[in-house]
Amino acid sequence: MIPQTTIANDPVWRALRWVVWGGAALLLLAPLIAMRFTEEVDWSPVDFLVMGTLLALVGGAYELAVRVARTQVYVIAFGVAVGTAFLTIWANLAVGIVGEPAEPINRIYFGVVAVAVVGAALARLRPAGMARAMLATAVAQAAGSVVGLFADGATVFVLTAAFAVLWLVSAALFKRAAKQTAVVGATH
């Protein structure tokens, strides 16, 4: 059982649940509405299923972050990590980061997200371990950026390097959350 924290009981974070889940619903409805007005948007039921699953995972990650967080910085760090993972997967599935989505080289970027997920599991969601996991993910992303540079040029390098920066931001925020958690733990 996950202990209740001040974050989980904070009305602001509880109210943000509606924003997260409402935003997810709107993102899923947007292509459905667009399909009524243009033929350029043509999603299949599988597209909706995949996007719905991704959005449910994002919402579930928010719920988990709020329940395990002892500091607001932890929730923000978690949000940056989940947002970066979501954007990586979405871009890769929608248009492909390198060439078309079916290009084998794009599997590298799914691997980057796998590093984050496995690292988070190994860290047991503890902030210090999460900082190390996100740092490892940034390194994996940077390696993917170099591969992207040689495979498809500077545009892919810049895009994927930007993702590496986001992983580093998450790592720095988790490190800060670890320090804050240590201070909170020392005062209790």
Consecutive H or E run containing 132 = helix 127-152
Judge if 108 and 165 occupy the same domain: yes
**Residue 170 CB partners (closer than 8 Å, separation 6+):** 77, 78, 80, 81, 84, 134
Lowest mean pLDDT segment, chosen from 50-59, 72-81, 104-113, 146-155: 146-155
Judge if 79 and 90 occupy the same domain: yes
pLDDT above 90: residue 1 = no
State the pLDDT at residue 187. Answer: 53
Judge if 126 and 165 occupy the same domain: yes
Judge if 79 and 56 occupy the same domain: no
Query: Which of the listed residues 35, 68, 101 is the one where a domain comes to its end?
Result: 68
Residues of the domain holding 109: 71-180
Domains in the chain: how many in total? 2
Q: How would residue 126 be classed by pLDDT, with cut points 50, 70 and 90? A: very high
**Structure-token pair, residue 68:** 């395990």
**pLDDT over 90, % of the chain:** 77
Judge if 62 and 88 occupy the same domain: no
Domain-embedded: residue 186: no
Judge if 64 and 94 occupy the same domain: no
State the pLDDT at residue 11. Answer: 86
Judge if 173 and 85 occupy the same domain: yes
Q: How would residue 151 be classed by pLDDT, with cut points 50, 70 and 90? A: confident
Which region, left, alpha or beta, applies to residue 126 given φ > 0 means left and ψ of -120 to 50 means alpha? beta
Q: Which residue has the higher pLDDT, 15 or 8?
A: 15
pLDDT above 60: residue 186 = no
Lowest mean pLDDT segment, chosen from 1-10, 17-26, 149-158, 162-171: 1-10
The average pLDDT across 74-81 equals 97
Ramachandran angles phi, psi of 183, nearest 5°: -65, -45
pLDDT above 70: residue 188 = no
Judge if 63 and 95 occupy the same domain: no
- Radius of gyration of the chain measured on its C-alpha atoms: 18
| CB-facing half-sphere around the CA of 152: CA atoms within 13 A | 18
Judge if 84 and 162 occupy the same domain: yes
**pLDDT over 70, % of the chain:** 94
Query: Which of the listed residues 24, 46, 68 is the one where a domain comes to its end?
Result: 68
* Residue of 43, 157, 50 whose CA lies nearest to 109: 157
pLDDT above 50: residue 139 = yes
Query: Which of the listed residues 11, 38, 68 is the one where a domain comes to its end?
Result: 68
User: 168, 134 in Cβ contact below 8 A?
Assistant: yes
pLDDT above 60: residue 178 = yes
Judge if 140 and 85 occupy the same domain: yes
Domain-embedded: residue 185: no
Judge if 79 and 171 occupy the same domain: yes
pTM: predicted TM-score of the whole model, two decimal places:
0.89
CA distance 151 to 154: 9
